[in-house]
Chain A
């Protein structure tokens, strides 16, 4: 059986932060992905700062990206700032990209 949360994570890697040029998964903006019911995906998401003007677009892009995955019927994006984002959330791939 295909794990929809993995597919959702892969889909989210297509969403780039326009300022940093790095995808939102490697940037550490995706805190958690769950599938509480079959075909229903919940995503906990944060921004690097609460005042990020890109925030609304990143949420929209994340929702549209995951909704395009075959088998996913509903997507719920939950915005959280607790705990706040820190650079520690950036993945090794993300750090390597930013050092370039």
Chain B
């Protein structure tokens, strides 16, 4: 066997069975619809939500666990082994993470929405187990030192935060069983910071350093600045936690400043990549990504403003909405619009034949409808929270739900085209009518 063959064999081993990443993505699509539907039902409660059980909390966890964490695991299980050049362990463990997380999210959010402690406790335990198992699988893979130090540093920080957010979530859930270990508002605030900026934020930063240059065909951003952004981000989160525990306004400002420095370093890297890109047209998905980038500094400012009540009673809700819907969800759906057709193209490839082009696997019209609805919904709901207008939140939620349905239709189109290409073997024409490409020379 040639050296090339050996490299190739190892590389194939690192591409997961198609059912694993797409199970996570499919569940995320369903939870995405459920989250917007819950937000619609909870519209009147949203502007003045201050925490506690109910539909708004269930909505938040449908997004954080059902959509963001679910997608994060699907993408990390697929991409990290390629970065570390180390295959993931047995697929059944990743499937177990999926089952525990899906059922856990269902139980937890049902318990939150219906004020029932039993499903909340069972679901929360299952979700926590999923996060611990997923975190261990990723940690084992990340022990290997390979290339891409910026990506791996962010991934390692994200996994540390994942364990933190799971532990804090468990402490919060214990409160509903009558066991209060610490003041719940403080725990909830730390849980939100570690989950939002820590686990999810670090993954967003890390994946950005790979995906943006890859999709734009551009230079990699500066590794030194990327590493600096990682360490400053981690410092900002630690200071933010200290500010919550100490109730110190000065520490809030310090955390905000550190967060802004990390953000500027990250955005500078992204601008370097975008500025040197060879691909001019980045499509509607990158409109979403750019909006998400703009949301990040706004989100940090809103977080600092919330601590000083500069935006009124609803400033905390406004901050949380910008964090989870404005920045994280907008970035995630933008990336999913690109990565799902890309992975579908890879998995649709037949031996001896080329993978279909990514453009053949996606639908521009559906992506555009979803993007417009998503952005309009985020803008309306943010306005509704600030103006204390349930009707504005409701209008935004209806549009967001329409967008979520468009996104589900887009996802179905991608999967059905992939399955059709796989089923058609090596002789059929594709959906565009173009003949499949194959290699033959003489």
Contact = CB atoms under 8 A, between A and B. Distances in A.
A joins B in a complex: yes
Contacts of A98: 217, 278-280
Interface string B403-442: 0000000000000000000000000000000000101111
24 contacts: A16-B437, A19-B342, A19-B345, A21-B357, A27-B217, A50-B147, A51-B83, A51-B148, A53-B15, A53-B82, A54-B355, A56-B11, A64-B352, A65-B441, A69-B442, A76-B5, A77-B5, A78-B7, A79-B7, A86-B219, A87-B219, A90-B217, A94-B278, A98-B280
Q: Pick the most buried of B14, B83, B146, B441: most chain A CB atoms within 10 A of its CB.
A: B441
A7 B217 contact: no
A87 B217 contact: yes
B48 interface: no
B218 to A, nearest CB: 6
Contacts of B285: none
A75 B83 CA distance: 25
A39 B352 CA distance: 21
A65 B83 CA distance: 26
Contact of A51 (B3, B79, B354): B79
A81 B148 CA distance: 11
A61 B210 contact: no
A90 B280 CA distance: 14
A60 B12 CA distance: 9
Contacts of B67: none
A60 B354 CA distance: 9
B4 A76 contact: yes
A52 interface: yes
Nearest to A7: B441
B440 A68 contact: yes
B349 interface: yes
Contact of A50 (B7, B78, B148, B349): B148
Interface of A: 7, 10-11, 14-16, 18-21, 27, 43, 48-57, 59-61, 63-65, 68-70, 74-79, 81, 84, 86-87, 90, 94-95, 98-99
Contact of B4 (A11, A48, A78, A81): A78
A18 B358 CA distance: 6
A53 B214 CA distance: 10
Contacts of B358: 18-19, 21
Contacts of A68: 439-441
A52 B214 contact: yes
Interface of B: 2-5, 7-8, 11-12, 14-15, 78-79, 82-83, 146-148, 151, 210, 213-215, 217-220, 276-280, 342-343, 345-346, 349, 351-352, 354-359, 437, 439-442
Contact of B354 (A10, A56, A61, A99): A61
Contacts, number: 134
Contacts of B210: 49, 51
Contact of A49 (B12, B214, B349, B442): B214
Contacts of A86: 219
Main secondary structure of the interface of B (DSSP, over half): loop
Given A49-B213, A50-B83, A75 B355 contact: no
Contacts of B442: 69-70
Contacts of A15: 354, 439
Main secondary structure of the interface of A (DSSP, over half): mixed
A74 B4 CA distance: 11
A94 B348 CA distance: 25
A17 to B, nearest CB: 9
B82 A50 contact: yes
B13 to A, nearest CB: 9
Given A18-B355, A18-B356, A68-B439, A75 B4 contact: yes
Given A18-B342, A19-B214, A61-B354, A56 B441 contact: no
A21 B359 contact: yes
A56 B357 CA distance: 16
Nearest to B277: A87
A93 to B, nearest CB: 12
A61 B349 CA distance: 10
A61 B436 CA distance: 14
Nearest to A77: B4
A9 B160 CA distance: 46
Q: Pick the most buried of B7, B148, B342, B351: most chain A CB atoms within 10 A of its CB.
A: B7
A99 B280 CA distance: 6
A42 B397 CA distance: 57
Contacts of A64: 352, 439
Given A56-B14, A84-B220, A19 B8 contact: no
Given A10-B441, A53-B79, A54-B346, 10 more contacts: A20-B279, A53-B78, A53-B343, A55-B11, A57-B346, A61-B439, A64-B352, A65-B439, A86-B219, A98-B217
The 3 A-B residue pairs with the shortest CB-CB distance, nearest first, are: A77-B4, A56-B11, A65-B439
Nearest to B11: A56
Nearest to B147: A50
